[in-house]
Structure 1
Amino acid sequence: MKEPSVFRKPGSPYWWCDFYFKKKRYQQAMDKNKKKAIKKTKALQEKLRLQSSGEVNLWPAFKSEYLEWAQANKTPATLKWDKSAIKHLEEYKPDIKYITDITPALLDKFKSYLILRSRELEEALKLSGRKRRKQKGLGVHGINRTLQSLKVMMRKAEAWGCFATPQKWNTISKIKTAEGRVVFHTPHEIRILLDFTHELAEKHTSGYCPYETVVLLGAREGMRRGEIFHLKWTDVDFEKNIIIIQPKDDWHPKTYECRDIPMDKLVRDHLLTIPRRGEYVLYNTYGQRFSLDSLTNYYRTRVARKVGLDSFIHKLRHTFASHLVQNRVDLYTVSKLLGHKNILTTQIYAHLIPDTLQSAVDRLPEIA
């Protein structure tokens, strides 16, 4: 293909493309950088050629188009799962040529392959005596998440007209797992965590420990990990005594909805005293931003394990909800504070409602 030409319009900082395809003229701004503008022009020409020839259903073309769409419409974490799912699928079936090669039957076989592979790795782990396996494999959650990503991808392929007839993607069911009860901390354990983080703060020259903020926002406000990480000072309204969970330019809450959480006294007093080092509330002791994963890992290794507790950030959120329910706050109110879209999600805390089940059984009539 001939190298596309780009040009600059007077007064415009952008390089523009100008070419004809199928008797139609395409003239549009591409990029401020000339090399990038040429690259984008090539990509546009190739896309038009594929659409015209019917080759748009080629797996590489669809994959590229889908990941571009996902990057614009999904969170970085979800995009990461999509890329991982594609990688695992291509390892299983490296000869995929067309998107239509991927069928419900293929995904069902792929699911079986992942399950068997996971079992083999677990067996190898037991025989080796190691605590963690070196080989990269997927557990139950990973398999379910991989299949979910591929099903969403295939439904999008249908919506884009890649399949002549509807496919039964819902026949690919996730692996069922036993539902355990939610784990949460006792008030005494939260005190242990807070005392330890307070000690860390006193030892540092800044007099600040970010994990104290994490424990309070999780256990006393019920905030998710991402909500804690992306909390800005503009979201903290001391006058109204609320913390506002709202979307940012590069992030949005899990349910895409805003909510206000009344501030607990401990949280308010803490936020009024910690240093402000930028627009975000959470910084490390050196005034730098964490990555989301390092925040999670450091909390477990530098705080929880040091005090002998099995703790993770989402367990703090469970603690907030569990303590409310145990103190007779109704599930509807708890649901609103947690930002659950459906109250059924909040039902996992129903067993903690004090005396409800016992009082129900006590109403049985006496047997004469």
Structure 2
Amino acid sequence: MMKALISASLINRLKPKEKEYDVRDTKTEGFLIRVLPSGKMRYVAQYARGRRINVGKVGVMKPEDARGKAADIIRDYEKGIDPKTAALKAKGMPTLRAFLDDDYAPWVKAHNESGEEAIKTIERHFSSLLGKKLDKITVQELEKWRTKKLESKAMQVNTVNRTITPLRSAISKAVEWGILDEHVLKGVKTLKCDDTRVRYLSAAETEKIFEVLNKREESVKAGRARANEWRKKRGKPLYPEYKKKDFIDHFLPMVIVTLNTGVRRSELFRLKRRYVNLEDNTLFVEKSKNYMARHIPLNKTAQKALKQWLKQTEAIESAYVFPSPRNPEKHVSSIKTVWTNVRDDCKVEDLRWHDLRHDFASKLVMKEVSLYTVQKLLGHKKISQTMKYAHLAPDFMAESVGRLDK
């Protein structure tokens, strides 16, 4: 952590780096400058451990004025006045759009790895609410939206519940920060749904899916070859050639890894290269849905796919196994379009991506792997979550009852 007297001459010497960094003031504790990769800088007051608030922009405020304001904020906090709450109330009741942009989005992205996706979910599904003031959002509007999604069968019950959660969380934070006196969506109850569904693939369905996936690979590679032949004749620069074993993109290796490890989609998206150990043949899940880290052994099929994909993408500077094609500093965040097309081409009915995880667990149980082992591989916190697969164990019930004969 860099420390220096924050002054005009210091600001002129500060240069942006690849990642944002802080410079702490040696005169006033808690006063600092944050330097962004873009070159922009802002004054910040840290009034408690892990709690900060922007004071102003460098170039708009003078250092001495910003230092004075930061000192006032820190003193107010010591008197029991939360500066964030005070600042938000001073603005008046914000619209949902303003609240997300100015306050909630920066906070949730800094504190939650899926924060960016949460903001996108709110913007995508509740765009009609963005212009409304927070205290004017009503339960009736959410109920109307939910009813429409369910009646049109655009979403299943659990998907509706999951989609509402980011909005509910944002409103909860507005209450916590003192912007709202009460939760305007407290009347929106989570719908009960059957979470015991176990959908796994038949041998014929698995064969059909990989037939479609392999045809997709061959079609793109053939198209690339034709394009390069055309460009070569006209003296144009060629596109990179696909090697025989190359994947055309991240989708096929993602399917293979999911079917052979049972990782959740979010875990797959966030999987980092350093957590794939091809020497020990293990995959480490750093942060799961229930915050339980786990190691998953890799079978030969998963090893082969990951080895090829990591080799193929080693020139891309990214921490992630499956980096975003547009921004390698981020991970892939959606496979919906490709998955929908593949599923439609396969003509396999009632299949969700999560069912690939069910398939992994179901096949293990049917091969007489213990439910305890399956629980650990899936990262279930409670064995009750894994018991949905119990009926697939050929001798599970019979063996249990048979113990009475002994």
What TM-score comes out, normalization by structure 1 length?
A: 0.66
Contact 2:324 2:331 in 1 (8 A): no
Q: In the alignment, is residue 217 of structure 1 matched against residue 254 of structure 2? A: no
- Residue 13 of structure 1 aligns with an amino acid whose one-letter code is L
Q: In the alignment, is residue 182 of structure 1 matched against residue 182 of structure 2? A: no
Alpha-carbon deviation of 1:289? 10
Distance 1:49 1:155 in 2: 15
Contact 2:85 2:179 in 1 (8 A): no
Equivalent position to 1:151, from 155, 158, 168: 168
Distance 1:305 1:116 in 2: 26
Q: Which residue of 2 aligns with 1:160?
A: 177
Alpha-carbon deviation of 1:322? 0.8
Higher relative contact order (CA 8 A, sep 6+): 1
Contact 2:380 2:386 in 1 (8 A): yes
Q: Which residue of 2 aligns with 1:206?
A: 243
Post-superposition CA distance 1:292-324 (Å, at most 9, x none): 3553422442x4444433454322211001111
Alpha-carbon deviation of 1:237? 2.0
Alpha-carbon deviation of 1:271? 3.9
Distance 1:114 1:316 in 2: 29
Distance 1:83 1:13 in 2: 36
- Residue 241 of structure 1 aligns with an amino acid whose one-letter code is N
Closer, same or farther in 2 for the Cα pair 1:142/1:231, shift >3 Å?
closer
Distance 2:109 2:322 in 1: 26
Alpha-carbon deviation of 1:78? 1.8
Distance 1:138 1:309 in 2: 18
Contact 1:242 1:260 in 2 (8 A): yes
Alpha-carbon deviation of 1:152? 2.1
Equivalenced residues, count: 322
Q: Which residue of 1 aligns with 2:224?
A: none
Post-superposition CA distance 1:128-159 (Å, at most 9, x none): xxxx9xxxx87755643454334323332333
Alpha-carbon deviation of 1:346? 2.3
Query: Which sections of structure 1, spanning at least 5 residues, go unmatched?
Result: 1-5, 18-23, 123-131, 247-251
Contact 1:284 1:290 in 2 (8 A): yes
Alpha-carbon deviation of 1:243? 1.8
Q: Which residue of 2 aligns with 1:7?
A: 8
Q: Which residue of 1 aligns with 2:293?
A: 258
Q: Which residue of 2 aligns with 1:71?
A: 109
Closer, same or farther in 2 for the Cα pair 1:358/1:219, shift >3 Å?
same
Q: Which residue of 2 aligns with 1:173?
A: 189
Q: Which residue of 1 aligns with 2:348?
A: 309
Tell me the secondary structure at the aligned position of residue 295 of structure 2. strand
**Aligned Cα root-mean-square deviation (Å):** 4.7
Q: In the alignment, is residue 277 of structure 1 matched against residue 313 of structure 2? A: yes
Alpha-carbon deviation of 1:28? 3.7
Query: Which sections of structure 2, spanning at least 5 residues, go unmatched?
Result: 1-6, 17-21, 44-55, 74-82, 222-241
Distance 1:289 1:159 in 2: 32
Query: Where do 1:9-88 residues align within 5 Å?
Result: 9=10, 12-13=13-14, 28-31=32-35, 37=42, 40=57, 51=86, 54-56=89-91, 58-60=93-95, 62-63=99-100, 64-74=102-112, 75=114, 76-84=116-124, 87-88=127-128
Alpha-carbon deviation of 1:13? 0.4
Distance 1:160 1:148 in 2: 18
Distance 1:53 1:194 in 2: 53
Distance 1:160 1:112 in 2: 26
Tell me the secondary structure at the aligned position of residue 350 of structure 1. helix
Distance 1:239 1:182 in 2: 33
Closer, same or farther in 2 for the Cα pair 1:81/1:320, shift >3 Å?
same
Contact 2:138 2:184 in 1 (8 A): no
- Residue 111 of structure 1 aligns with an amino acid whose one-letter code is L
Equivalent position to 1:235, from 267, 275, 282: 275
Distance 2:324 2:166 in 1: 34
Contact 1:261 1:337 in 2 (8 A): yes
Equivalent position to 1:244, from 253, 275, 284: 284
Q: Sequence identity of aligned pairs in percent?
A: 24
Equivalent position to 1:338, from 356, 367, 378: 378
Closer, same or farther in 2 for the Cα pair 1:148/1:293, shift >3 Å?
closer
Q: Which residue of 1 aligns with 2:76?
A: none
Query: Where do 1:50-129 residues align within 5 Å?
Result: 51=86, 54-56=89-91, 58-60=93-95, 62-63=99-100, 64-74=102-112, 75=114, 76-84=116-124, 87-90=127-130, 94=132, 96=133, 101=135, 107-115=138-146, 117-118=148-149, 122=152
Larger mean Cα displacement after TM superposition, 331-340 or 178-187 = 178-187
Distance 2:84 2:276 in 1: 52
Post-superposition CA distance 1:210-251 (Å, at most 9, x none): 5442232111111222333444443232322212223xxxxx
Distance 1:298 1:77 in 2: 18
Distance 1:37 1:267 in 2: 46
Contact 1:85 1:149 in 2 (8 A): no
Distance 1:147 1:271 in 2: 35
Contact 1:277 1:283 in 2 (8 A): no
Distance 1:90 1:25 in 2: 38
Alpha-carbon deviation of 1:50? 8.3
Q: Which residue of 1 aligns with 2:51?
A: none
